[in-house]
Amino acid sequence: MKLTFMGAGSTVFARNVIGDCMCVDSLRDSVFALYDIDGERLEQSRIILEAMRAAKGGYGKIECYLGVENRKAALKDADFVVNAIQVGLYDPCTIIDFEVPKKYGLRQTIGDTLGIGGIMRALRTIPVMKDFADDMEEVCPNAFFLNYTNPMAMLTGYMTRYTGIKTVGLCHSVQCCSETLLNEVGMEDKLEGRKELIAGINHMAWLLEIKDKNGVDLYPEIKNRVDAKIADPEFKDKVRFDYIRNFGYYCTESSEHNSEYNMFYIKSKYPELIEKFNIPLDEYPRRCVNQIEGWKKEYEELLQTGVKEHTRSNEYASRIMESIVTGNPIQIGGNVLNTDHLITNLPAEACVEVPCLVNGYGIHPCHVGALPVQCAAMNMTNINVQLLTIEAAATLRKEHIYQAAMLDPHTGSELDIDTIKKMVDDLIEAHGDYLPKYH
């Protein structure tokens, strides 16, 4: 088996996914092809992964491919392709995504999934992923493309609609959703044997059902504890708990993410909401700086002390590969096209996050039916932006970028149309060659 890792310079994530594969008998003897356009980061990943491979018994083989000219060779005959690229990196592109909107009074927390930051990230990433797909259709047309890069719904939506590559989008927010909630409300005793149903869109999929091992609905007791948690000044997950209070359901991704996916919480006219809901403005740039510095320190320590023992993570990638290779079925939460209306009250062209069966025949999304109408409505405010951004990438028409930004719930609630267009123009100019030319 061959696994190609696109963006292997993301050393921490490559270490998790490939390390997970090294823990599995059916996967450990694979060829692990590392691809990146940054030679220094690629070499760091090679050193770490070679040390891990030796510690795990020396199974398999690691190959490195540097630069676009070696991309096809990296992909050739791959069975699985994991995508973890970040086009434009923190510097300059994430900085641009935050600093240009800030000049117009538009503040963000994460900016990688929705909002103007998510739109721009998608527009610079989709052309690169289209190149990946073109190469894959030539040298590994039957490979499974496992996408971890954000904005998940926009990128996976593009791949599933405009390429012939078998694509699923993967995020770790589904795995930890109900556990996080039960821990937060002090119901840890209900974790074992719990049953759940999660569906919606990436980063805003809804915990539609949560029952204990005996089938007892846990939502009534959870809702009894919501107000006390929101009133706690130290509690950080207030936006999601406010979702429970106002929309009836908890969602998969964190409050710092969800604070910018709507028009409710980050409002220049209501600055007191930032403190009330513990919203960390400019959170993603802070994380980037800390992660860059943290990795430098960790890498030096690893060179001195050696790699630590890797235990298998809860990431889906290795489990999908193992299931397809062995035929042993599993269930995951996957991001897929809403074909045949898996969620009946969301559009067929939307990218939805639903339970999926995985077995030796591949990945099979499960029919969910209709979401509660208020949950579907919340999802649609995000899907509108996602579909228009994909349309902009597919047609190269600037008007669709304007429309995506105008219909973004946070952007549209803060800025008027003329200002939004000026901001978009400034962002396009600032990104320069990281974006294609729009007309």
Q: What are phi and psi of 272, to 5 degrees?
A: -65, -20
Tell me how far CA of residue 401 lies from CA of 124, 181, 195, 420, in angstroms: 12, 36, 41, 10
| Distance, CA of 385 to CA of 407 (rounded, Å) | 6
Q: How far apart are CA 200 and CA 181, in angstroms?
A: 17
Choosing from 172, 310, 341, 364, which is the catalytic residue? 172
Is residue 172 among the annotated active site residues?
yes
- DSSP output for 263-307: SSS--TT-THHHHHTT--TTHHHHHHHHHHHHHHHHHHHHHHH-P
Q: What's the one-letter identity of residue 50?
A: E
Calculate the CA dihedral of residues 28, 34, 39, 45 and round it to 10 degrees.
Answer: -30
φ/ψ bin of 108: left (φ > 0), alpha (ψ from -120 to 50), beta (otherwise) = beta
CA distance to 43, 122, 159, 165, 435, per residue, from 168 (Å): 28, 17, 9, 10, 25
Residues marked as catalytic: 172
